[in-house]
Structure 1
Amino acid sequence: METKYCYELEFKVRDYECDMQGIVNNANYQHYLEHARHEFLQQTGTNFNEIRLKGIEPVVSRIEIDYKNSLHSQDYFICKLYVRKEGIKFVFYQDIYRKCDHKLCVKGRVETVCINNGKLSRGDELVPYFEKYL
C-alpha cells in the first residue's frame, strides 16, 4: 500500500547538526519534523502567529520517532507528511527520506491537541484549514 502524502519539504543537512559520529544528532530530526509542520500550516492558508492571535494554541502532546537510516552532513532529504483527525487530536504522520537513494531515514508520528483560550478543545477551529487534507 502506497502512502498518500499531502505535503513534502526538501532540506539539506548542515554540518552543525551532526554529532561526533558524523551523523545527524537524533534531536535534530524533531526540528526537521516541526519545521515541515509549520510550512504545511502555511500552505493551508494560515500560520502559527495568526492562529495564536485568535487564542488557539496547537501543541504537541506526543511524538514517536523510529530511526531507520542515518543522515550525514550535506545530505539532501525530503520530509513528507499526511495528517489525520483522531478524536480531539490531529496526528501528523511524517517520514524523512534521503533524496539520493530514497531510503527511509525516519518514521514519525506526532500527536497534537488544541488549546483554545486556555482550555483543551476538540480542535474544530483548525478543521477548515485541514479538511481537504484529512
Structure 2
Amino acid sequence: MKSYEQIIKVRDYEVDSQGIVNNANYLHYLEITRHDFCEHAGTTFRAMQEQGLDPVVRKIEIEYLSSLTLGETMISRLSMERKGARFVFTQDIYNATNSSHVVHALVTIVCLENGRLSRGDLLAEAFREYLA
C-alpha cells in the first residue's frame, strides 16, 4: 500500500495556555494532510467539485498519544483503503525530533456525486494508486 507524508511545523497560535497544541488543531493537521495528498495524487477538492464529486467526512476516530509544543515539527502520514462505498484514511502524526507517536486517527469519507450518495467509483479511480 502506497502512503503519503508531509512535514508540518507547529505555529504559535496553535498552542494553548499550557504551551501544548490544542486538541482541535490536530483535526486541522489531519485535514491539511488529506488536502495536500489530493494535490499530490493529481486532483484538488475544487476539481472534484467541478466534476460533481464531493468527498465528505462521515466519521473521525482520533487517539491522542502525546503532545506537540510550540516550534516542534511533525511528520503527518496517511494511507487509505476502500471499504464498499466508504474510504478510510489511516492517519498518524509523529514528532519529527524524537519519533514519538502523537496522534492516530481513522477518518471515514463518503462520496456524494451531484448531491447524491454514491459508491465513490470516481474517487476510487482518482486514488487507485493509493488504495490498499
The verdict on a shared fold, with TM-score over 0.5 as the criterion, is: yes
2:36 to 15, 39, 44: 39
Do structure 1's residue 18 and structure 2's residue 9 form an aligned pair?
no
- What is the rounded CA distance, in whole Å, between the counterparts of 1:22 and 1:85 in structure 2? 38
Identity of aligned residues (%): 48
Q: For this pair of structures, how many residues does the alignment match?
A: 131
Could you say which residue in structure 2 is the equivalent of 1:79? 76
TM-score (norm 1): 0.95
Question: What is the identity, as a one-letter code, of the residue corresponding to 1:84?
Answer: E
- What is the rounded CA distance, in whole Å, between the counterparts of 1:33 and 1:55 in structure 2? 24
Q: Considering only aligned residues, what root-mean-square deviation do their CA atoms show, in Å?
A: 0.9
- What is the rounded CA distance, in whole Å, between the counterparts of 2:42 and 2:12 in structure 1? 33
- What is the rounded CA distance, in whole Å, between the counterparts of 1:117 and 1:76 in structure 2? 39
Moved over 3 A (4+): none
After TM superposition, list the pairs within 5 Å mapping 1:1-134 onto structure 2: 6-134=3-131
Offset of 1:5 from its aligned partner?
A: 5.7
Q: Flag structure 1 segments of 5+ consecutive residues without an equivalent.
A: none
Query: CA contact under 8 A between 1:5 and 1:80: conserved in structure 2?
Result: no
Offset of 1:28 from its aligned partner?
A: 0.3
Question: What is the identity, as a one-letter code, of the residue corresponding to 1:111?
Answer: T
Q: Flag structure 2 segments of 5+ consecutive residues without an equivalent.
A: none
Q: Deviations over 1:13-59 (max 9, x none)?
A: 00110011111000000000000000101111110000101111100
Question: What is the identity, as a one-letter code, of the residue corresponding to 1:30?
Answer: L
Question: What is the identity, as a one-letter code, of the residue corresponding to 2:76?
Answer: C
